[in-house]
Structure 1
Amino acid sequence: MPRGRGLLRGRPRGDGRRRRERGGRRGGGPDGRGRHVDRARRRRAARRAGPRRRPPGRGRDGRRPAPSRPARAGGPTGVCARARAPPGVDPSGGTPVSTPLRVLFATSEVAPLVKVGGLGDVAQALPKALAARGHRVDLVLPGYAGLPAGRPVGTVPVAAGRVRARFHVTDLGDHDGVRYLTLGSDTHPDWERPKGYVERHLASFVLFSRAVAELATHPGHRPDAVHCNDWHVGHVPAELRRRPAAPRSVLTIHNLAYQGLFPYDKATELGLTGYGTGNLLAQGIRYADAVTTVSPRYRDETLTPAHGSGLHHLLRSRGGDYHGILNGVDYHHFDPSTDRFLPARYDVDDLAGKAVDRAALQRASGLPVDPDVPLFAFVGRLVPQKGVEALLEGIDEIAALGIQLVVVGTGAGYERAFVRAARWHPGVAFHPDSGEAAARLAYAGSDAFLAPSRYEPCGLAPLIALRYGSVPVVRRVGGMAETIGESGLGIAYDGDRPADLVAAVRAAVTRHADTAGWAALRDRGMRARFTWDDAARRYEALYRPAD
Structure 2
Amino acid sequence: MPEPGIAGTRSCRNPELPEPGAASPAKLVAPILLSVNRKNKGEHVTEPLKILFLAAEVDPFAKVGGLGDVAGSLPKALKSLGHDVRVVMPAYQKIEQGFPGVIPIDGMLRVLTGAGMIIAGGFQSVLPGSEVPIYFIAEQNLFDRSHIYGYGDDAYRFSFFSRAALELTLALDWQPDIVHAHDWHTAPAIMWLATAPKKDKRLQNLATIFTIHNLAHQGRSSWDIIEYLNVGQTYSLNEEGYGEINFMARGIHHATMINTVSPNYSREILTPEHGVSLEGLLLHRSFDIHGILNGLDYEAWNPASDPRLVSNFDVDHLSARVNNKRALQKYLQLPQRDDVPLIVMVTRLDYQKGLDIVGHPLHLLLSNRIGEAQFAVLGTGAPEYERMFANLANTHKMKMTAVLDYQTDLAPLFYAGSDIFLMPSRFEPCGLGQLIAMRYGSVPIVRATGGLADTVLDGYNGFSFNQLRWEALWYTLYRAIYLYYTDPSTWRLIQNTCMSTDSSWSRSARSYQQLYRWAIARHLL
Instruction: Determine whether 1:259 maps to 2:218.
Output: yes
Residue 257 of structure 2 is aligned to residue 287 of structure 1:
no
1:162 maps to 115
SS in 2 for 1:146: helix
1:190 partnered with 2:144: yes
Alpha-carbon contact 2:426-2:449 (below 8 Å) kept? yes
Instruction: Give the CA deviation at 1:268.
Output: 6.4
The CA deviation at 1:187 is 4.8
Is 1:134 aligned with 2:85? no
**Deviation digits for residues 218-271 of structure 1 (CA, Å, limit 9, x no counterpart):** 581221111111111121100111245142211100111111122456776776
State the match for 2:24 in structure 1: none
Q: Where do residues 503-514 of structure 1 align in structure 2 (5 Å cutoff)?
A: 503-513=475-485, 514=487
**Counterpart residue number, 1:71:** none
Structure-2 change in CA distance of 1:487 and 1:213 (3 Å): farther
Shift of 1:506: 1.1
Of residues 238, 243, 247, the one that matches 2:206 is 247
Residue 517 of structure 1, aligned match among 465, 482, 490: 490
Deviations along 1:67-88, one digit per CA (max 9) or x if unpaired, are xxxxxxxxxxxxxxxxxxxx99
- For the Cα contact (< 8 Å) 2:431–2:451, is it kept in 1? yes
The CA distance in 1 between the partners of 2:169 and 2:228, in whole Å, is 24
1:73-120 CA deviation, whole Å, 9 max, x = no partner? xxxxxxxxxxxxxx99xxxxxx99531111111111122221111111
In the other structure, the counterpart of 1:203 is 156
Using the alignment, how far apart are the partners of 1:535 and 1:174 within structure 2?
A: 19
Q: Are 1:467 and 1:525, in contact at CA under 8 Å, matched by a contact in 2? A: yes
Cα offset, 1:529, TM superposition: 0.5
For residue 497 of structure 1, the aligned residue among 447, 469, 472 is 469
Q: What is the CA–CA distance in structure 2 between the aligned matches of 1:118 and 1:499, rounded to whole Å? A: 29
Q: 1:410-466, CA deviations, whole angstroms, 9 ceiling, x for partnerless residues?
A: 103322222222111121211122232121111011001001001111122111100
Distance 1:260 1:470, change over 3 A: same
Q: CA deviation at 1:368?
A: 1.3
Separation in 2 of the partners of 1:162 and 1:324? 38
By how many angstroms is 1:189 displaced? 5.3
Structure-1 residue corresponding to 2:379: 409
Superposition TM-score, scaled by structure 2 size: 0.82
In the TM superposition, residue 179 of structure 1 has moved relative to its aligned partner by 0.6
3-state secondary structure, aligned to 1:344: coil
Instruction: Tell whether the 8 Å contact from 2:443 to 2:461 is kept in structure 1 after alignment.
Output: yes
1:312/1:297 Cα in 2 relative to 1: closer, same or farther (>3 Å)? same
Report the RMSD for the aligned CA atoms in angstroms: 2.5
Amino acid paired to 1:319 = S
Change (3 A) 1:486 1:104: farther
User: Is this contact kept in 2: 1:216–1:246, CA < 8 A?
Assistant: no
Do the aligned partners of 1:96 and 1:134 also contact (CA within 8 Å) in 2?
no
- Residue 213 of structure 1: CA displacement? 2.7
Higher RCO, 1 or 2 (CA under 8 Å, sep at least 6)? 2
Give the corresponding residue for 1:143: 91
- Given that residues 220 and 247 in structure 2 are in contact (C-alpha distance below 8 angstroms), is that contact kept between their aligned partners in structure 1? yes
| Corresponding position of 1:120 | 68
Once the two structures are TM-superposed, the CA of residue 162 in structure 1 deviates from its matched residue by 2.5
1:199–1:520 CA distance, 2 compared to 1 (3 A): farther
Task: Check conservation: 1:264, 1:278, Cα contact below 8 A.
Answer: yes
Instruction: Work out whether residues 114 and 230 of structure 2, in 8 Å CA contact, stay in contact via their aligned partners in 1.
Output: yes
| C-alpha distance 212-295 of structure 1, shift in aligned 2 (>3 A) | same
- Partner residue of 2:317? 350
Worse-superposed segment, 514-523 or 536-545: 536-545
CA distance in 2: counterparts of 1:239 and 1:225, whole angstroms: 14
Distance 1:365 1:193 in 2: 30
Paired residues of 1:97 and 1:134 also in contact (CA < 8 A): no
Within 2, Cα distance between the matches of 1:356 and 1:240?
A: 54
In the TM superposition, residue 9 of structure 1 has moved relative to its aligned partner by 4.4
Pairing partner for 1:177 from 126, 131, 137: 131
What residue in structure 2 maps to residue 473 of structure 1?
445
Q: Secondary structure at the match of 1:406?
A: strand
Take 1:420 and 1:460, find their aligned partners in 2: how far apart are those partners? 28
Q: Does 1:390 align with 2:362?
A: no
1:311 to 274, 278, 298: 278
> Which protein is bigger by CA-based radius of gyration?
1
CA distance in 2: counterparts of 1:527 and 1:435, whole angstroms: 27
- Please state how far the C-alpha of 1:485 moved relative to its aligned partner: 2.4
Deviation at 1:163, TM superposition (A): 6.2
Aligned 8 A contact 2:109 2:171 in 1: no
User: Which ranges of structure 1 fall in alignment gaps of 5 or more residues?
Assistant: 1-5, 12-86, 89-94
Matches within 5 A, 1:9-48: 9=3
1:372 match: secondary structure: coil
User: Aligned partners of 1:284, 1:487: CA distance in 2, in Å?
Assistant: 39
- What letter is aligned with 2:355? V
Contact 1:215 1:222 in 2 (8 A): no
Task: Give 2:463's aligned amino acid.
Answer: I
Which residue number corresponds to residue 19 of structure 2?
A: none
Structure-1 residue corresponding to 2:326 = 359
Matches of 1:537 and 1:320, distance apart in 2: 20
Partner of 2:508: 535
- Give the secondary-structure state (helix, strand or coil) at the position aligned to 2:481: helix
Identify the match of residue 457 of structure 2 among 469, 485, 490: 485
**Residues 216, 247 of structure 1: 8 Å contact kept:** no
Q: 2:295: which partner in 1? A: 328
Deviation at 1:299, TM superposition (A): 0.5
Aligned to 1:378: 345
Letter in 2 for 1:470: S
Q: Is the 8 A contact 2:90 2:143 kept in 1?
A: no
Q: Which amino acid aligns with 2:60?
A: P
- Counterpart in the other structure of 2:15: none
Percent of pairs with identical residues: 37
Q: Which residue pairs with 1:63 in the alignment?
A: none
